[in-house]
Chain A
Amino acid sequence: MAEKLIKPEELAQGIKHTTPGGDWRDEKTELKRGCFNYGAQPSSTKYLGLPNVRKWQPMHDDWQLPENWKEIIIKGLADRLKRFRSLQVFMDICVRCGACADKCHFYIGSGDPKNMPVMRAELLRSIYRNDFTAAGKILGSIAGGRKLTVDVIKEWFYYFYQCTECRRCSVFCPYGIDTAEITMIGRELLNLLGLDIDWISTPAANCFRTGNHLGVQPHGFKDSVDFAVDDLEENTGVRVEAPINKKGAEVLFVVPSADYFGDPHYFGFLGYLALFHEIGLDYTLSAFASEGGNFGLFHSNEMMKRLNGKIYAEAKRLGVKWIIGAECGHMWRVLHQYMDTMNGPADFLEVPRSPITGTVFENAKTTRMVHICEFTADLIKHNKIKLDPNRNNHWKTTFHDSCNTSRAMGLLDEPRYILNKVCNHFYEMPENTIREQTFCCGSGSGIGTDENLEMRMRGGLPRANAVKYVHEKHGVNLLSCICAIDKATLPPLLEYWVPGVEVAALHELVGNALVMTGEKDRTTDLRGQEFVNNGKEGSEDV
């Protein structure tokens, strides 16, 4: 049911960063087709036990809110002001300096002034002022307040689902005001009224039930892992083992489900399997915790906790020593910033220690969960694997930092270190668009659907533009990244703005370069593409 999309040039030409005159509070927001997500299926919200289950769609006039919707919102907001210092402080201290305004990819790509992070927050703040501050109660509109109406709720819905919670704005705000935090709470409030979107609720319900977003049942999970093992054997001549639910393994390995189903994620999955086999890691996958990605993060902190709980529970049941997490942005935001708080302490695990290099991962001392990039970088540093970067000579790569691993974790140099060891051609995008200033793929936080395509292409414009720069300047033809949502949503984005650039997992490139013991004479990469200049005589430096 994709909405029709105009040509890239037309879209770009149409972006005007202008503002209407007058007071924004008097404007009514029209929900534009192609720029919002469909409402949740009742079956999913019912399964999760969420309020106000009904059939509804955002384009309908009547959203069938519960009768006491106003009371629910005000109570919900009061409650969250008490529970989140971030919200209380961020409601109070914004000086509306505008430093965050042009930092949001949705504003840059849409020109809609309500997509300036400060405005997004003001949508909520105006209600806060009106109902929770003395000045607002007395002076109302003069104090910057406005009345809570159904139109306000619709506006919240529109703009809180036009924020990918990427936190880029918070890097630039002098007080560290994080609009992502406000969006998250705004969405929690909307969900109290049953205003869920389907691409969050249905994956969340699937994940809750089967263990992963796609709703793949355990035997299906096993099938796809077995399939990958066969695939890898065909490619490399080496038959690896990929244990599932194996009790007593040393490490539990958690991947986002797209890795064993989606394309191009899958090639990265092959990369992990090859790597773990080569170093002889005693690990297991789990069909119960067959998902690292956490769509609960986009819904509410309760939902996040419910979905995340499976990982520790499974680590305990299987009796592993520690956990490795694969390439996934939102998954790592949850694992790094929330997991231990919500579902810890993980005292049944041990402090992670690489059995291959002996390195103790001090930075994961209590969570006991290590990022695959930390793990692999350590292996390479200690010369534990043999790499032939020439096998990636057909790629000229650049690296996209995912918002969450960069701005909510600080994982910046590990992937770059790996990249420099596994390929010969790596070019950085311009400085203002990488590392902590990285631009979002435009489709994170559960809004990467087809019905929302126009907004995604708009939001992804800054990212694509930076890719275009290196594509034109250095002939870059591959964007590598370490996030499952990126791998799903960047291909259509690049096809739209920069045809000729593919997307790959970082560990796909590792898998290509990895020289495996007993491998056959490899002629193709993990995608089955012929190697070029795979100079046997060329440098095989490690």
Chain B
Amino acid sequence: MSIAEKVREEPAAVEAAPRRKRVTDEHGRSVRVWELALRYLLLIAVLALTVGPFVWQLSTSLKGPTEDIFSSPPKFLPSEPTLHNYERVAETIPVWDYAFNSLKVATANVVTNCVGSALAGYALARLRYRGRKVTTLVFILAMLVPVEGIIIAQFTTMRELGLNNTLIGVVLPGCIGAMNVLLMRNAFLNLPYEIEEAAYVDGANVWQRFLRIALPSVKGTLAVVAIFAFMGAWDDFLWPLIVLSDPDKFTLTIGLNYLHGTFANDERLVAAGTIIAVAPLIALFACLQRYFFRGVGEGAVKG
């Protein structure tokens, strides 16, 4: 738990001071011991089910070449832990190049989505112009189109633009998501008009009002858009699989699938590759999870 979170929880702790020793639920009522024990038991069981597979993968990736990874009963701890498999992945496929390609795609996706959907969301929520309703409708329709169904037409469109087999081609179709535009629109709609009116009276033009007043007030939603954009681009499989054909340009997900096909015989290598792909995301998520859960919760309640 971070320091910031502890600080935030302090007022509640002070209120509950008279009975600090007992564990209480969200309403401040005490929880019975056996119920608490049962809860933790269930929580740990689900934990084993959700996180266990990742831990097993990590364990496999650390097992040496002479170690039996197929033993029954299974051995959970490597007897001689080694990082050798990580070196070997890099020797067999250019895994760091793939990771760098994924990073480029994901970063570009974050920037374009934040800028593009903030701009469009602001126009939809705050600006008055003929055609605003039509614009909103366009984004709603776009959100409803199932991407899996139009993927072949996206591919031919990309070919007509001459962008097939490029990283730009990977980024473009999702670079401003209609869903994100509507999320930003809702965030701007929830701001009180009065502040912007004050700025308006002081002579601020529309760009100044957008940049100095509206945008700083919707940081939370912007953070959610950024995290979703990063995860979406880093994790995407179907579209890069279709648009990329040159192994030099593979993103990590496509490269890993390739690794699996070529070296399916050595699970240690595949395991090391998957850990390389998943570790940065878990780290990113662990750092940002507080904003994330708050933002997703807010979005769901408002939506």
B is bound to A: no
- Residues on B facing A (Cβ under 8 Å): none
- Residues on A facing B (Cβ under 8 Å): none
